[in-house]
Amino acid sequence: MQTGFPEVKKKLGFGAMRLPMIGEKVDISAFSKMVDLFLAEGFNYFDTAHPYLNGESELALHEALTSRYPRDAYLLANKLTAPYFDQESDIRPFFEKQLQWCGVSYFDFYLMHAQNLGNYDKFQRCHAYETAFALKKEGKIRHVGLSFHDKAEVLERILGDHPDIEFVQIQMNYIDMESAAVDARRVYETCLRFHKPVIVMEPVKGGSLVKLPPKAQQLLDTLQQGVFPKASNASYAIRSVAGHEGIYMVLSGMSTLSQVADNTSFMKDFKPLTDEEKRTLGGVVEVFSQLDAVPCTACRYCIEENHCPKKIPIPDIFSLLNSIRVFNNRNANFYYENVVTANAGKASDCIFCGACEHVCPQHLTIRKFLKEAAETFEEPKKQNEGSQ
C-alpha cells in the first residue's frame, strides 16, 4: 500500500483548531511564533477547516503562514463541511472562498469533512466527491481524502463507493483503540484493508492523555530511562499511534509555543515506542478502564454553528465534570460558576433538543451528561442557598 506522500516532510502535522486566542480572534503574534518554530524544525503540514474557531482558523493561517512564507514551504489541508452547502452548485463558490480566506491558489490536501452515516447521503446527493476530484483535475486540489467519525462498516461503504479516495483521517489514540463508541481499531484496519494511507487526529484525546489520573501518571513516571528520558505524556500518546503501519501523519491541535517545541522535539527523528513503553501504556489503559470519565475530545462540533440553542459550553463543562470524576478536583466547582458558565448557558439550561448529540463524532449521550453536570455543580449550591 502507499504509505504516504513524498511532499510531507515529517509525521507531525499542525492542527489549527485550538489556537491561542485573544477574545474571539486568534492571537496572530503568538501563532506566528508557533508557525515559525514548526517550519524551522523541518515540519510542513497544516490542517484547518472553516468551522474551526468559527472561520478564524483559516484567516489566521493566511496571516501567520501563507502571507509570510513561499508556497513550497508548507502543505495546507482544508475540508468541505456539510453545513456550508445545500446543493451541488454551492460547493465550488464555497471552495473558492476557502482559497481566498487562506490566501492560496490551491490546497495540497482537501477532505470531505467528518463523514458519517448521517451526512454521507448529503455528500452523495450533492456530488461532493465528484466535485472535489474535478477540482483536482483543474489543479486546485492535489490530493482528495476524507475525515471520518463513525463505525467501520460506514467507512467500508464510503471507500467502496469512492475507490479513488487517496487517504483517510481517523480518530485514533491508545485509549480509543478499544473504544466501542469510537471503533478506532476496526476503522484503522478498514483503512489498511483498502490500502489507504492514514492521518491520525485526536492522538492525545483532546488533552485527556496529557493530564492523567495519579495512578496512570505514576506508571509513566517510571519511564525515566526510556528512549526519551523525562518525556512528556503527549509524546507517549503521539508516538504510540505514529508507529502503526500505514500512518503517515499525526495531527496535534497545538495551542502554545511550548507544545510546538515539545512535539517537534520527539517527532523530528521519530522513534516508535519500545516494548517497555508499550507495556506501560497498557497499564495506563487499564487505569482508565477503571475510571468513569466522559469520553469527550473537545472537538466543539456540538457548539459550532449554533448547534446548541442555549449556548451551553458543553466541552468545557464535560472537562470540569471529568476533573471531578477522575481527578476529584474540587476547584472545578469554582471554574464552573465563575469561568465556564459566567457568560454562557449552564448545564441546567439544556432543553433536551438533541441537536448536540446529532453532530457529536463520539456519539455521546450529551443530554445525560449535562443532567449529571447540573446535579454535580448546581444542585449543591441550590441546597446551600435553601438552607440559609
In which element (H, E) is residue 141 found?
strand 141-148
Answer yes or no: is pLDDT of 1 > 70: no
Which of the four pLDDT bands, split at 50, 70 and 90, describes residue 169? very high
Burial 261-286 (b: 16+ CB within 10 A, else e): ebbbebbeeeeebeeebeebbeebee
Residue 6: all three cell numbers together: 513524498
The confidence score (pLDDT) of residue 328 equals 63
Strand, helix or coil at 180? coil
CA dist 345 and 291 (Å) reads 28
Answer yes or no: is pLDDT of 331 > 90: no
CA dist 4 and 132 (Å) reads 20
| CA dihedral sign of residues 76, 315, 360, 289 | positive
Residues 6+ apart with CB under 8 A from 76: 46, 48, 61, 65, 66, 102, 104, 107, 108, 109
- Of residues 321 and 130, more confidence is placed in 130
Answer yes or no: is pLDDT of 327 > 70: no
Cβ atoms of residues 210 and 238 within 8 Å: no
Q: What is the pLDDT of residues 86-128, one digit of tens each?
A: 999 999 999 999 999 999 999 999 999 999 888 999 999 999 9
Answer yes or no: is pLDDT of 227 > 60: no
Q: What is the pTM of this model?
A: 0.82
Across 117-121, 147-151, 244-248, the highest mean pLDDT is recorded for 244-248
CA dist 370 and 321 (Å) reads 9
The confidence score (pLDDT) of residue 329 equals 64
Q: Enter the CATH code of domain 12-289.
A: 3.20.20.100
Using CA atoms of 44, 45, 46, 49 in order, give the dihedral in degrees to the nearest 10: 160
What average pLDDT does this structure show over 257-267? 97
Which of the four pLDDT bands, split at 50, 70 and 90, describes residue 374? very high
Cβ atoms of residues 245 and 192 within 8 Å: yes
The confidence score (pLDDT) of residue 384 equals 66
Q: Which residues belong to CATH 3.20.20.100 in the chain?
A: 12-289
- Of residues 117 and 364, more confidence is placed in 364
Q: What is the pLDDT of residues 11-33, one digit of tens each?
A: 999 999 999 999 999 999 999 99
Which of the four pLDDT bands, split at 50, 70 and 90, describes residue 241? very high
Average pLDDT, the chain: 93
What average pLDDT does this structure show over 119-142? 98
Give the lowest-confidence range in 42-56, 97-111, 183-197, 335-349. Answer: 335-349
**Helices marked H in the chain:** 28-40, 56-61, 88-102, 117-125, 128-137, 152-161, 184-193, 214-221, 233-242, 257-267, 275-289, 314-325, 331-335, 355-359, 366-377, 379-387
Q: What DSSP string runs through 211-260?
A: S--HHHHHHHHT-TTSSSTT--HHHHHHHHHHTSTTEEEEEE---SHHHH
